[in-house]
Amino acid sequence: MLRASTSVADPEGIISKTQILVLVVCSGPIIQMQAAAHRCIAIVDFMEKTLKPYPATVNDEEMYKNAKKVGEDLVGKDNVYLSPLAMGAEDFSFYTQRMPSTVFYVGTKNESIGASYHLHSPYFFLDEQALPIGAAFHAAVALSYLDGHSDFST
């Protein structure tokens, strides 16, 4: 079976900027030579001139531990879950390259009121009772981090 196109995914989020550059520079000629060996033509376009490649979203370990502890303190250990690894374009990944960051989600699922659809579903709506908890969590994560990284002694 021949594909008209293919893509390379990074489900573990571990491809570095250097590895992406090596992939772009080295794979094109290799793919073209393999195609030529089979009397085919391959056109390799990473669209790096058109689209800025999204870097991997990598959580800072210290920020992750901080957010996890704050979440456990706020809503209890039984209500804090480790999210499965996922591959997707995430604008937040650009922030993670500039400062210590971590991605976390605030759950809004509440089947008793029908708020049980995924974010991108046309039936999605959120249980607004989760908003104050989410706001408190975000504020507490920031304050906890700043408390631990202040240059001032109290």
83, pLDDT greater than 60: yes
Same domain, 43 and 68: no
Give the chain's domain count.
2
Domain with 88 in it: 61-148
Mean pLDDT computed over 84-99? 80
Answer whether 126's CB lies under 8 Å from 108's CB: yes
Angle at which helix 61-75 crosses helix 131-148, to 10 degrees, equals 130
Judged by DSSP in three states, 115 sits in strand
Kindly state whether residues 126 and 67 are assigned to the same domain: yes
So what's the pLDDT on residue 64?
92
Q: 3-class DSSP state for residue 110?
A: strand
Q: What 3-state class would DSSP assign to 103?
A: coil
Residue bearing the bigger pLDDT, 88 or 154: 88
As beta bridge partners, residue 110 has: 115
Question: How many other C-beta atoms are found inside a 10 Å radius of the C-beta of residue 25?
Answer: 10
Question: Confidence class of residue 89 from pLDDT cuts 50, 70 and 90?
Answer: low
**Which pLDDT belongs to residue 58?**
82
Q: Are residues 69 and 136 in the same domain?
A: yes
Asked if residues 54 and 89 have their Cβ atoms less than 8 Å apart, the reply is yes
Task: With CA atoms as reference, report the closest residue to 103 among 121, 78, 86.
Answer: 86
The most confident of the ranges 5-9, 48-52, 91-95, 130-134 is 130-134
Give pLDDT, residue 7: 54
CATH number at 135 reads 1.10.150
154 located within any domain: no
At 12-54, the pLDDT tens digits run: 455 666 777 777 788 888 999 999 999 999 988 877 777 776 7
User: Mind listing the pLDDT tens digit for each residue in 47-77?
Assistant: 777 777 677 788 899 999 999 999 999 999 9
Same domain, 129 and 75: yes
**pLDDT, tens digit, 9 for 90 and up, residues 109-149:** 899 999 999 888 999 988 999 999 999 999 999 999 999 88
Number of H helices, E strands in the chain: 4, 0
